[in-house]
C-alpha cells in the first residue's frame, strides 16, 4: 500500500485535508512525517452542522452512541449528516471517530509506557479487539508492533502522573493565557504557579488534577506541530477516556486555532493589535457550567470580588480533595445539580444574583441550556438571556469561553472604549462595525481587550 500525506490527496471542492479522509481513501500514514502526531482540526468555514458534529465526535459523542443519536442531537437526519461529512470532510462521522481514537492511541504508544489494554480504553475504544482492528486498518500493523518502532526521543517520563504532548501551530501567547487564568483563578480549584497552570477536575465524580506547562519552543517561522507543544501532566483516577480529557484541555487553551483569522487584518485597528499581540487566543473553559456560574458571580463586581464570591461557593459546595494542599488545590468545583439544590444564603450574593445563579444551574441541570456545543450560537444566547438576571453580555461571554468563534459581547464597556474615536460608540455601533469580522468576532474581542487603553 502506498503512502501519502493528506495534503497530497485530490479531494472534492471544499473538503478539508484530514488524515481521516486520507485513510478513508485507502492511504496509510507516512512513516516519516507521522501525521498522527498532528491534531486533526475542522475549519469553521465548513457548514455549521459539520463543525458542531465534528467537535462533538472529538469530545466522545460516538463512544456510547451512534450516528443516528448524534444526528438527532443536532436536529437533522443521520443520512444527511453522513452526506455532509463525506462532501466536506471526505469521511463519515464513524470514520472520523475511529481515526481520532487511533491517532490518539498511536501517540500514547509512542509517548507513554501504558499497557496496550490501558491505551485502548484511554483512547475511547470499547474493547481491545476494536483497538487492534483499528490499528491494522489505519496503520497496517498491530499496536505492539507500532510500539516497537517508537523513537527514543518520543517517550516522556514524569515524576508523577502521565505526561503527554499537546502540539499546536505557533505562535501561541502562553504568558497571556496564564495571565488571564491566573487573574481569575479561584483558590482551591486552580492555580498558576510560575509558567504552569494547574487545576482539579472531576471524572464521573472522581477527582483528578491536570497540569499544563510549556513544552517545545518553536523557532521563528517554524510550523511543525511536533516541535511546538504544551506539556500536559494528568493525575487521574483511571485512564479510560483520557482522549476526551486531552481534547478538553486543547479547547481550554484554543490549541486548534491554526491562524489569526485573515478577516481581522481588513480592519486597521485590529491589524495593529494582532501585530502587537501575535499568538493571542480566546481563553476557553474546562467546564461550561463553571465558567457560566463564575460569570454570574462576577456581574457588576471586580475580578477580585468575583474570585472571593467563587471561593465562598466552593468552600460550601465544592467536593474536598485531600492530599493536594502542597499544590494549592483543595476542592473540585460544584456541579450544576449541587448548586441548583443548594442554599445560597450567606455567600454575600445579592438576592437577584443568587436567583440568577440558581436559575442557570437549574436550566443546565434540566437541559434547557445546552453547553456542549450542539446548538447554534444564537440558540445558546437566547436560552441564557431567557433566564432571570442574565443578559446578552453574560451569554456572549459564556459562548466565547465555550469556543464559539463568532460570539461577541458588543455592549462590553471595555470593547466600546477600545473602539472609541473621540466618543465612546454605542453597543449598536460596535455591533455594526463587528459585522465585518464575522465569523471570528471572538478573536477580535480578545485582541480589543488586550489592547485596551
Question: Could you tell me how far CA 419 lies from the centroid of its own chain?
Answer: 29
Cβ atoms of 318 and 324 within 8 Å: the answer is no
- CA–CA separation, 438 vs 429, rounded Å? 15
Tell me, what DSSP letter sits at residue 264? G
- What stretch of H or E contains 72? helix 67-74
Q: What is the pLDDT of residue 153?
A: 74
Half-sphere exposure of 293 (CA within 13 A, CB side): 32
Q: What is the pLDDT of residue 322?
A: 92
Cβ atoms of 342 and 317 within 8 Å: the answer is yes
Give, in degrees to the nearest 5, the angle at Cα 183 between 179 and 187.
125
Q: What is the pLDDT of residue 221?
A: 46
DSSP 3-state of 192: strand
DSSP 3-state of 201: strand
User: To 10 degrees, the CA torsion angle through 297, 300, 301, 307?
Assistant: 20
- CA–CA separation, 386 vs 368, rounded Å? 10
- CA–CA separation, 63 vs 144, rounded Å? 23
Q: Which residues neighbour 101 within 8 Å (Cβ) at sequence distance 6 or greater?
A: 123, 124, 125, 131, 134, 243
Q: What is the pLDDT of residue 9?
A: 31
- Strand-pair category, 319-320 with 229-235: unpaired
* Residue whose C-alpha is closest to residue 412's, from 438, 387, 431: 431
DSSP 3-state of 214: strand
Residues (pLDDT < 70) of the chain are 1-17, 26-46, 157-159, 216-226, 262, 452-453
All domains of the chain in start order, with CATH: 6-153 (1.10.10.60), 156-255 (3.30.310.20), 288-319+331-405 (1.10.340.30)
CA-based torsion, 264, 266, 267, 270: positive or negative: positive
- Burial degree of 2 (CB within 10 A; 0-12, 13-18, 19+): exposed
Amino acid at each position: 500500500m502506498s503512502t501519502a500525506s493528506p495534503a497530497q490527496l485530490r479531494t472534492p471542492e471544499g473538503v478539508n485535508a484530514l488524515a481521516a479522509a486520507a485513510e478513508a481513501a485507502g492511504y496509510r500514514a507516512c512513516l516519516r512525517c507521522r501525521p498522527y502526531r498532528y491534531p486533526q482540526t475542522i475549519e469553521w468555514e465548513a457548514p455549521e452542522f459539520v463543525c458542531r458534529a465534528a467537535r462533538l465526535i472529538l469530545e466522545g459523542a460516538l463512544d456510547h452512541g451512534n450516528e443516528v443519536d448524534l444526528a438527532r442531537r443536532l436536529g437533522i437526519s443521520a443520512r444527511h449528516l453522513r452526506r455532509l461529512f463525506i462532501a466536506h470532510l471526505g469521511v463519515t462521522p464513524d470514520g472520523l471517530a475511529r481515526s481520532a481514537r487511533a491517532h490518539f492511541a498511536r501517540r500514547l504508544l509512542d509517548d507513554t509506557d501504558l499497557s496496550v489494554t490501558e491505551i485502548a480504553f484511554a483512547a475511547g475504544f470499547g474493547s481491545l479487539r476494536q483497538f487492534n482492528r483499528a490499528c491494522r486498518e489505519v496503520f497496517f500493523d498491530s499496536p505492539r508492533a507500532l510500539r516497537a518502532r517508537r523513537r527514543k526521543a518520543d517517550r516522556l517520563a514524569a515524576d508523577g502522573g502521565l505526561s503527554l504532548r499537546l502540539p499546536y501551530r505557533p505562535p501561541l501567547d502562553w504568558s497571556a493565557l496564564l495571565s488571564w487564568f491566573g487573574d481569575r483563578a479561584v483558590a482551591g480549584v486552580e492555580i498558576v504557579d510560575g509558567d504552569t497552570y494547574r487545576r482539579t477536575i472531576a471524572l464521573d465524580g472522581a477527582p483528578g488534577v491536570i497540569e499544563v506547562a510549556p513544552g517545545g519552543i518553536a523557532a521563528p517561522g517554524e510550523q511543525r506541530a511536533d516541535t511546538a507543544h504544551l506539556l500536559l501532566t494528568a493525575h487521574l483516577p483511571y485512564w479510560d477516556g483520557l482522549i476526551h480529557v486531552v481534547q478538553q484541555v486543547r479547547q481550554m487553551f484554543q490549541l486548534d486555532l491554526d491562524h489569526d483569522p485573515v478577516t481581522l487584518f481588513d480592519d486597521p485597528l485590529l491589524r495593529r493589535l494582532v501585530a502587537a499581540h501575535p499568538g493571542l487566543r480566546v481563553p476557553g473553559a474546562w467546564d461550561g457550567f463553571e465558567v457560566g456560574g463564575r460569570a454570574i458571580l462576577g456581574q457588576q463586581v471586580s475580578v477580585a470580588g468575583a474570585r472571593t464570591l467563587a471561593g465562598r461557593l466552593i468552600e460550601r459546595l465544592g467536593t474536598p480533595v485531600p492530599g493536594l494542599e502542597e499544590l494549592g488545590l483543595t476542592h473540585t468545583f460544584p456541579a450544576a445539580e449541587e448548586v441548583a439544590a443548594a442554599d445560597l444564603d450567606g455567600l454575600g450574593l445579592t438576592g437577584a444574583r443568587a436567583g440568577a445563579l440558581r436559575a442557570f444551574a437549574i436550566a443546565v441541570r434540566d437541559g434547557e441550556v445546552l453547553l456542549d456545543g450542539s446548538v447554534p450560537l444564537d440558540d445558546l444566547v437566547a436560552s441564557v438571556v431567557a433566564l432571570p438576571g442574565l443578559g446578552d453580555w453574560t451569554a456572549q461571554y459564556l459562548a466565547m469561553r465555550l469556543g464559539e468563534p463568532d460570539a461577541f459581547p458588543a455592549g462590553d464597556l471595555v470593547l466600546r472604549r477600545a473602539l472609541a474615536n473621540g466618543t465612546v460608540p454605542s453597543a449598536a455601533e460596535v455591533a455594526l462595525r463587528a459585522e465585518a469580522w464575522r465569523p471570528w468576532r471572538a478573536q477580535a474581542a480578545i485582541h480589543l481587550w488586550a489592547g485596551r487603553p
